[in-house]
Amino acid sequence: MKNSAAKKLEELYKVFDEGDNILIVVIADPDSMASALAFKRLMWRRVASITISNVNVVDRPDNIAMIRLLGIRMTHINDIKNGSYNRFVMLDSQPGHNEIFSRFRFDAVIDHHPDSKYASAFSDIRPLYGATASIMTEYVIAAKIKPSVKLATALFHAIKTDTCDFERKAIVEDMKAFQFLFKYANLYLARKIEQSEIRLSQLKYYQKALAGIVVHKGKLFCHLGTVENPDICVNIADFFLKIESVQWSIVSGTYNDLLVIIFRNDGIRKNAGAVSSNIFGSIGSAGGHKSAARAEIPLAAVKAEIKPYNAGNLLNWIMKKVH
């Protein structure tokens, strides 16, 4: 690992110059935010400036707690001024994952999702890894950097989150990174982030989900209608997977003219990422990991297939597709 990481780090350093103003573009979640903090530390005093920019609205209580407790500074993509940056980096995602990424030509892409073969000056895509934070931790070790408490805690929390405490896909490199970070992380802060409470305003979605669930052959489906943020679909899908008889939890909602479908499974029977991609990849963006996946489909494409279009018919359409 050390020699490989050191070589990749050397390649990464060669891409950037001391006069560069770098914009790191992320879909903000624990893994991407922690990875961005690590990238900033690696480039400290090597470039002119680095800004982290999120393309999504951060609404999950645990993510908000992470930002607040670890002092993560981000600027939303809508507030980024054109011409302010000459270098662009993507972490924990790839340019094909969201239309908004087409605004930029990325110089470096580091990710642990399946490789979309994007051509950039520097690329490090490792689909076998459980978290991008594990890759970034290897870089930190290769750079002989002793991480600050906040950086170590962010990376520690990210690996825990993306591997679901090593219950999801993970390899020995994830465990080695986690073990290294354990020495420097603040476990109290990490636990406080994890245990952040659900917002009172979000309880209405749980109520709607409980009233509208359909269970068939170990698969639990529910549609939440219009949601204030797609992350609520993620929270509820994770919640339903805790039910003893449920092997699949499939939760959908509409957001910004998109149908968002979240897949969770026990990781034993089928690959959620492959299922999502095979079913919905032709009409939208879809993919993920063995036990966790996501599809985002333009509502216009969905409405063209469902006549008449309503919540009940939409849920039936998803169930037929997934079955």
Domain spans in the chain, listed from the N-terminal domain onward: 2-194, 204-322
pLDDT at residue 107, rounded to an integer: 97
Low-confidence winner among 8-17, 41-50, 195-204, 304-313 (lowest mean pLDDT): 195-204
Fold of 2-194: inorganic pyrophosphatase (n-terminal core) (3.90.1640)
Instruction: Note the pTM of the prediction, 2 decimals.
Output: 0.70
pLDDT at residue 50, rounded to an integer: 97
CATH of 204-322, one of 3.40.50.300, 1.10.10.10, 1.10.357.10, 3.10.310.30: 3.10.310.30
pLDDT at residue 3, rounded to an integer: 59
Which has more pLDDT, 46 or 200?
46
* Beta-sheet strand order (sheet of 285-288): 214-216, 219-226, 248-255, 258-265, 292-298, 285-288
Share of the chain above pLDDT 90, in %: 72
Overall average pLDDT of the 256-263 stretch: 94
Long-range contacts of 94-101 (CB under 8 A, 24+ apart): 94/118, 94/125, 96/285, 97/27, 97/285, 98/27, 98/55, 98/285, 100/55, 101/25, 101/55
Residue 198 has pLDDT above 80, yes or no: no
pLDDT at residue 20, rounded to an integer: 97
Question: 53 and 76 in contact (C-beta within 8 Å)?
Answer: yes
Overall average pLDDT of the 74-89 stretch: 94
pLDDT at residue 244, rounded to an integer: 86
pLDDT at residue 235, rounded to an integer: 87
Average model confidence (pLDDT) across the chain: 92
Residue that has been written with the tokens 């990481």 in this structure: 5
Residue 256 has pLDDT above 60, yes or no: yes
pLDDT at residue 108, rounded to an integer: 97
CA 107 to chain centre: 20
248 by DSSP, 3-state: which?
strand
> Which tokens sit at 215?
């269970």
Beta-ladder partners of 260: 253, 296
Residue 269 CB coordination number (10 Å): 11
Question: 61 and 198 in contact (C-beta within 8 Å)?
Answer: yes
pLDDT at residue 55, rounded to an integer: 93
pLDDT at residue 263, rounded to an integer: 95
pLDDT at residue 317, rounded to an integer: 95
Overall average pLDDT of the 194-202 stretch: 77
Residue 197 has pLDDT above 80, yes or no: no
Which has more pLDDT, 282 or 40?
40
Residue 236 has pLDDT above 70, yes or no: yes
Q: What is the pLDDT of residues 161-180, one digit of tens each?
A: 999 888 777 899 999 999 99
pLDDT at residue 31, rounded to an integer: 97
Backbone angles phi, psi at 56, to 5 degrees: -110, 170
- Where are any strands of DSSP class E within 44-186? 49-54, 75-76, 87-91, 108-111, 122-125
pLDDT at residue 91, rounded to an integer: 97
Nearest to 157 by CA among 211, 113, 196: 196
Please tell me the distance from the alpha carbon of residue 33 to that of residue 164, in angstroms, as a whole number. 17
Same fold, 2-194 and 204-322: no
Instruction: Tell me the CA distances in angstroms from 214 to 208, 218, 222, 246, 259, one per residue in order.
Output: 12, 10, 6, 11, 18
DSSP state of 196: P
Q: What is the pLDDT of residues 32-41, one digit of tens each?
A: 999 999 999 9
